[in-house]
Structure 1
Amino acid sequence: MAGSSIRMTSIDNMVENIRYKAQIIARTNKLDSGIMAAGIPGFVAGLLLALIFVMVPILVLG
């Protein structure tokens, strides 16, 4: 019976390790999804600001 207990402890440890890694992967995927969702609007806003900062002085100083 002692051998069975050791095997169950080992299996429980492996299951806990897999569960922990799955949680990390899920959190990483959520973070990546959030960044990608905000990426396009952020890029467009940055592009517009860059164009404004470049074009306004050119048009003013002419």
Structure 2
Amino acid sequence: MAGSSIRMNAIDKMVENIRYKAQIIARTNKLESGIMSAGIPGFIIGLMLALVVVMVPVLVL
């Protein structure tokens, strides 16, 4: 009976490890999906912000 308990404990640990990794993969996919959907507007805003940061000191001097 003790051998069965040890095997179940090992199986439970493996299942928990797999579940944890699956959650990380799901979160990563959601994050990448969100980044891709906001990619072009974010790029344009970043480009405009960079141009402002570069051009303002040039115009002031």
Distance 2:48 2:37 in 1: 16
| Aligned partner of 2:28 among 28, 32, 41 | 32
Does 1:14 pair with 2:10? Answer: yes
Residue-pair matches, total: 54
Structure 1 consecutive aligned stretches of length 4 or more whose deviation exceeds 3 Å: none
**Structure 1 residues not aligned, in runs of 5+:** none
Identical columns (%): 9
Please give the root-mean-square deviation of Cα atoms over the aligned residues, in Å: 2.1
- The amino acid that maps onto 1:13 is N
- TM-score, reference length from structure 2: 0.69
- TM-score, reference length from structure 1: 0.68
